[in-house]
Structure 1
Amino acid sequence: MLLSGFNWIVVVLLIAMVLLSCFALVHAAFQREDAFRAADKQTKPFWLVILGLAVAVQIIPLGAFGFLLTLAGLIATIVYLVDVRPAVRGVSGGGGRGRGGRSSSDGPYGPYNGNR
């Protein structure tokens, strides 16, 4: 009984990893190619190949060695979402700061600069 509950948790985590990788792949596909260069990140085709391989490795069962490839794909996805995506969004005009492009130090009438 305990093992079936563990298997259910593993399946949910695998589905979440595939969805996260698919989201990153779709996001990378819809970004401008020059935004990657302007953000000083790898090129758009590089990220499309890496994220596409991450999705493929997570979907196709590859046995014991597949676990390492799945882990590598998850790491690549996290790097894209945490590092590349905010940089590309910032260059593309997406702001990347939240709340409509406003900083957390902005007041109601503009940025707070401490009377400097």
Structure 2
Amino acid sequence: MFEFQGGLTLVLTIALFVVKGFALVDCVSRRPSQLDSLDTLPKQTWLIILGLALVAHVFFLYPLSILNLVGTVAALVYLAQVRGSVNR
């Protein structure tokens, strides 16, 4: 039972790290004008938020810690709001 829980936690940790990393790389690759045309935060603010989320994930590996959950929500909001709107 504990092996399954440990494996599930590892998979969840890696998946959430990939989501945060993808959001950060996507934000870095966007021009600031693409974000200015949307009703969202500026690029520099997104970079700070997503960068801190990724750093927090490295230091607090447990995926259900409060900092990791906040970082995951931030990355998902970025992906839904910015990436979803720009790709239309």
Higher helix proportion (structure 1 or 2): 2
What residue is the counterpart of 1:37 in the other structure?
36
Gaps of 5+ in 1: 97-116
How many corresponding residue pairs? Answer: 87
Higher relative contact order (CA closer than 8 Å, sequence separation 6+):
2
Q: CA RMSD in A?
A: 1.7
TM-score (norm 2): 0.90
Q: Percent identity?
A: 32
TM-score with structure 1 setting the length: 0.70
Alignment gaps of 5+ in structure 2: none
User: Which has the greater radius of gyration?
Assistant: 1
**Matches for 1:23-102 after TM superposition, within 5 Å:** 23-61=22-60, 67-87=65-85, 89=86, 94=87, 96=88
1:84 Cα offset (Å): 1.7
Question: After the TM superposition, which parts of structure 1 deviate over 3 Å for at least 4 consecutive aligned residues?
Answer: none
- Displacement after TM superposition at 1:55 (Å): 0.6
